[in-house]
Structure 1
Amino acid sequence: MPRVQRLLFIGQHCPPLRVDAYRDALQTVVHATRHVALYLDTHARLNAALAAAGMLEVPADAAWVAATADAVRHTSERLETALRQSRSNLLKEQIRLAQLALGDHAWQCGELQTAAKCYARSRDYGSTNQHVLERGLREMALALETRNLHLMNTTLATLQALLPASGTMTTAPTALDVGVYVRACRAVMDLHDQRYADVARGLLKLPFPGVHHAAAVLLPHEILWQTVLCGLATLSRAELKALLIEFAPYLDLDGRARDAVQALLDGAYDVLFAALASAEPDCLLDMRLHRAVPTLVAAVRQRALVQYTRPFVSLRLDAMAAKLGLPVDDLERDVCALIAQGLIPMVVDSYAGVLYAKPADQRSRVLQKTLDQADDYVQTVHTMLLRMSLGQSGLAVQSSRDHDVW
């Protein structure tokens, strides 16, 4: 139920959209699930939001709750009966299908632990790659919903092992491009592990015509901003230029993303900061990206400041702030932090508000170069002495031409 999760997340973190998000989530639960507990929880959230906004509360649909609970009970009994009959007949394929059907039903009712157990039990009755694939896709979707990283990692390895050399495979039952789906899942794992460069490079390989195959994991707008933010923070200049070409269909979804990438390449940092400031609230509503947004925006900001100061010998902070469209106090704080980290080789005169490049210490540079050459020479001599000692001791293998057939 990715749609319900996204709507609940938006309702929790965005007060202006709270009522609409909870109302849409409630409708989705009614039409797409049999999750009575989720319906009651979403209904309570909606009424709380309506009360806070001074609006009339919505009564719960008692008829739907009763009918759904009754349907869940009857379906559970029917599926369990079918499973018992399959076991009594010792038909492996029917047992496997019954376990998968029971797991799907439990998942739709919100019993996620039961669904995971049913999928795991079906493993013993699978005999082909297609069976492994059907189970793996279900387990991956379940791991994404429950945020079970261990299950996600193991299932991802299983699915990747099934992919051919081309990295794509289409399954007839689901009409799903498994290669696209696996790349999207891998990007989610990399994002959680803070491997931002891998996130950007992985999502760049997602073909836009097949992006609907990844919709259960990431929506096109989420793919766009995860790639752009991670790319701006970590990718090289050449990779960013390639991003503008290869990622063009995604960049057309939001002009701010294209403006941000182009601005960093062109050195128009005021445009870059304006685009990031405009897009940051939207990125904070991405339930997978929101934790990394402050870190990525700060990394892009640091990269821009380092690039801007690199060609200057001296630079006034007020002129720099006016050029970048930033407050002077915030700019000075960021520049001082970068100087302390050794990323900007300059010193700051806070009283005069001027940055000065550190003079190059030629004597230290020559001394360090000499020491490096001495270390290389010592290593070379040690290697030569070792070879000589091996030869004198008779430990070196001598080539022989006695058996040369030519």
Structure 2
Amino acid sequence: MADHLLAFFTLMDNQDGIIVRDPPKFDLDLYIQNYKGRSRFDRAFLIGRSSVPLCVDALKAAIAEAKRGRDTQRYREAVECLRIAVPSEPEAIFDQAWLEAQEKANKAETHRLLMELKGYKNNLIKESIRMGNEDLGKHLESIGDLSAAADTYSKMRPDVSTPKQLLDVGKHLVRVSIQRREWGMVSAHLSKLGGAHHADEERAFQPYIKVAQGIALLGQEKYKEAALSFLSADSILPASTYSELASQSDVASYGGLLALASMGRIELQHHVLDNAQFRTFLEHAPHIRRAVTQFVSGRYSACIAILESYRPDYLLDIYLQKHIATIYSQIRSKCIVQYLIPFSCVSLETMNKAFGGPNQDIESELADMIQSGALQARINTIDKLVTTKMANPRAQMQESALRAAENYERQALDRLRRMGLAAAELELKSGKKAPGFGDLMVDETLG
């Protein structure tokens, strides 16, 4: 079994997969139960392909989830992975009878729905056409034909008659675009929902829209915008409204991690810790609140230690996995920069105690940060000291005085020009009042 698992993860590694050898803190069964729809398979399958400790259990869960659905291709992929990893398991044998029966049923259902939709179009009943397209789109999505599903959902738009129906169409298109990892299309579909519905419908869909927008922005590596989207999600409505995308714990983790990576201490205090709306999400991920609190309090090494203990969990998340290295690197760089601000000189030994680790060379890391411009400091390799570059107060004062003089000169010339125009009794047409001339109107096009 060990040889087969080694071969499996060697194959995953060759396919540029991320391998997680440490066990996560969550229970697999409880974790999967937080989601509904096709997301359950996606998460179980990713864990099976990435986690060494949970590989077998996660692939079995993915196979079971696939057999509860209609997507035969997903079933084939999950069984093939389990067959390579643990060929002795009963689930590693293809259930050919189920495959053939399901594919036959899928074709029959597709044909039936197409015939129904054709009949609705002949009768020219808009509501029936809309419902027919929706039923066909859901079926195509369930069997894994996401491209056809997106086209079918798009055909619902001409036949919608209420704000809720318009929101439903947008929700279908957003969901399919997220599954296809088309982040730009997710944002485009969400933008069409703005201003096209009433307040009641908007509030009911608000968490879904905010979570979906956050996921799309995360996929585009717009970390601060994504953080603000997650942080503004309404926590009053039940998690079932967006559980096909994320759980409440996920929203807390996404929002907190991205905020740590992209915001300063004052912003973190305001947007995260003092955010009464987001506090409900943080109750489902208390470690995120502790990490943010430690950062705001200046305990940077404690913040990093908390996050590192949860790194295996985040490496098994379908949206975070590809971004964790970048996010953690940005958080760590911010912690180092903030740590050095009060000091003019710090020993490398102290820096190693605060930020070093068994596999981390703090001196090389500091050198990389200095070279990239992220840190304004010098490393004294002889005395083993890190010296921060102090700003020159005299140069700063002179630069400030020069900017003030240039600004004053520009304003003075502008006022003299306006006085000359007024003295010449030229007609000034703009609706903008000239400063210092009462009701005199200024023509911005002159001079």
Same fold (TM over 0.5): yes
Paired residues of 2:355 and 2:362 also in contact (CA < 8 A): no
Equivalent residue number for residue 96 of structure 1: 130
Equivalent residue number for residue 232 of structure 1: 260
Equivalent residue number for residue 117 of structure 2: 83
Equivalent residue number for residue 11 of structure 1: 48
Tell me the amino acid that sits aligned with residue 302 of structure 2.
V
Distance 2:359 2:351 in 1: 8
Equivalent residue number for residue 174 of structure 1: none
Confirm whether residue 26 of structure 1 aligns to residue 60 of structure 2: no
Structure 1 139/362 Cα, relative in aligned 2: closer, same or farther at 3 Å?
Answer: closer
SS in 2 for 1:160: coil
Structure 1 366/265 Cα, relative in aligned 2: closer, same or farther at 3 Å?
Answer: closer
Equivalent residue number for residue 187 of structure 2: 153
- Structure 1: runs of 5+ lacking an equivalent: 170-176, 402-406
Shift of 1:381: 2.0
Equivalent residue number for residue 244 of structure 1: 273
- Name the stretch that deviates more: 70-79 or 356-365: 356-365
Equivalent residue number for residue 48 of structure 1: 84
Confirm whether residue 193 of structure 1 aligns to residue 240 of structure 2: no
Q: Deviations over 1:61-89 (max 9, x none)?
A: 22322322232233223222222222222
Structure 1 73/355 Cα, relative in aligned 2: closer, same or farther at 3 Å?
Answer: closer
Distance 2:342 2:201 in 1: 44
Q: How does 1:123-134 map to 2 (within 5 A)?
A: 123-134=157-168
- Structure 2: runs of 5+ lacking an equivalent: 1-37, 429-436, 441-447
Shift of 1:2: 1.2
Tell me the amino acid that sits aligned with residue 123 of structure 1.
R
Q: Pick the aligned partner of 2:406 from 372, 375, 383.
A: 375
Paired residues of 1:200 and 1:228 also in contact (CA < 8 A): yes
Tell me the amino acid that sits aligned with residue 208 of structure 2.
Y
Equivalent residue number for residue 30 of structure 2: none
Shift of 1:137: 1.7
Distance 1:383 1:279 in 2: 59
Q: Pick the aligned partner of 2:99 from 62, 65, 77.
A: 65
SS in 1 for 2:112: helix
Distance 2:400 2:191 in 1: 46
Paired residues of 1:11 and 1:17 also in contact (CA < 8 A): yes
Paired residues of 2:47 and 2:55 also in contact (CA < 8 A): yes
Equivalent residue number for residue 214 of structure 1: 242
Confirm whether residue 390 of structure 1 aligns to residue 421 of structure 2: yes
Confirm whether residue 304 of structure 1 aligns to residue 335 of structure 2: yes
Q: How does 1:353-372 map to 2 (within 5 A)?
A: 353-372=384-403
Distance 1:373 1:354 in 2: 38
Paired residues of 2:47 and 2:58 also in contact (CA < 8 A): yes
Shift of 1:47: 1.3
Shift of 1:362: 4.1
Q: Pick the aligned partner of 1:288 from 319, 322, 341.
A: 319
SS in 1 for 2:195: helix
- Name the stretch that deviates more: 274-283 or 340-349: 340-349
Equivalent residue number for residue 293 of structure 2: 262
Shift of 1:342: 4.5
Paired residues of 1:50 and 1:56 also in contact (CA < 8 A): no
Q: Deviations over 1:98-153 (max 9, x none)?
A: 12211211211222222222222222323332332232221111111112234322
Structure 1 156/321 Cα, relative in aligned 2: closer, same or farther at 3 Å?
Answer: same
SS in 2 for 1:225: helix
Structure 1 12/395 Cα, relative in aligned 2: closer, same or farther at 3 Å?
Answer: farther
Paired residues of 2:249 and 2:282 also in contact (CA < 8 A): no
Paired residues of 1:160 and 1:182 also in contact (CA < 8 A): no
Tell me the amino acid that sits aligned with residue 282 of structure 2.
L
Equivalent residue number for residue 404 of structure 1: none
Paired residues of 1:188 and 1:288 also in contact (CA < 8 A): yes
Paired residues of 1:260 and 1:271 also in contact (CA < 8 A): yes
User: Higher helix fraction: Structure 1 or Structure 2?
Assistant: 1
Distance 1:400 1:330 in 2: 68
SS in 1 for 2:133: helix
Tell me the amino acid that sits aligned with residue 9 of structure 1.
L
**Higher relative contact order (CA closer than 8 Å, sequence separation 6+):** 2
Paired residues of 2:183 and 2:217 also in contact (CA < 8 A): no
Structure 1 168/127 Cα, relative in aligned 2: closer, same or farther at 3 Å?
Answer: closer
Tell me the amino acid that sits aligned with residue 41 of structure 2.
V
Equivalent residue number for residue 139 of structure 1: 173
Shift of 1:92: 2.2
Distance 1:97 1:137 in 2: 15
Q: How does 1:322-341 map to 2 (within 5 A)?
A: 322-326=353-357, 330-341=361-372
Shift of 1:209: 4.0
Shift of 1:199: 1.8
Q: Deviations over 1:244-292 (max 9, x none)?
A: 3433333333343222112112222221121121112211111111222
Distance 1:361 1:87 in 2: 76
Shift of 1:40: 1.8
Shift of 1:396: 5.0
